[in-house]
Amino acid sequence: LLAQLLQQSGVLILAETVPRHTQRLYRLLEKSKLDVDLYQRLVAAEEAIYSDKLDPMVNWDTAELRVAFESVGLGVEVDEERSLTQLHITPALIDRWFATASATNRPSYAAHLAKNLTKEEIRVVKELFIRSLLHQTVNWESAIAFVRI
């Protein structure tokens, strides 16, 4: 454990992106452009990504991070900083979101959507992303937890 290597007066600061508070793609779309039922299932499918109790890569927030450190006996200060950055939506980015296979061995956005949407509905959603967002620059929400040990 890194904390054991610190001198008595040493400090370790970690910065970790908080996935539970990352930008939701559905929020970039005008919900009126989709059927009400399809939009609601899109929202449910995407929100399910960040509440999957079996996926520690995305299912935690700042409070849970603090508890994890404290549970191993470390006193920590945790601050969360939310930010907006500009993100340009490229064809490659949309292709990555809607890929049927992921280069990272993690499910793609489309793979998650497939739990709630049919292939045809995913195609409709992808086409809406292309029509609405391709070559646009959008505000991208994120949060970073700064952990001081």
pLDDT band of 100, cuts 50, 70, 90: confident
Let me know if residue 134 belongs to a domain: yes
3 in any annotated domain: no
Number of domains in the chain: 1
In a domain, 131, yes or no: yes
Q: How many CA atoms lie within 13 A of 45 on its CB side?
A: 23
Per DSSP, the three-state class of 72 is coil
What DSSP state is assigned to residue 31?
G
Q: How wide is the angle at C-alpha 23 spanned by C-alphas 65 and 138, nearest 5°?
A: 145
> Which residues span the domain enclosing 24?
12-148
Element (H, E) at 84: strand 77-88
Q: What is the pLDDT of residues 9-29, one digit of tens each?
A: 888 899 999 999 999 999 999
- What pTM was estimated for this model as a whole? 0.85
Chain segment 107-142, per-residue pLDDT in tens = 999 999 999 999 999 999 999 999 999 999 999 999
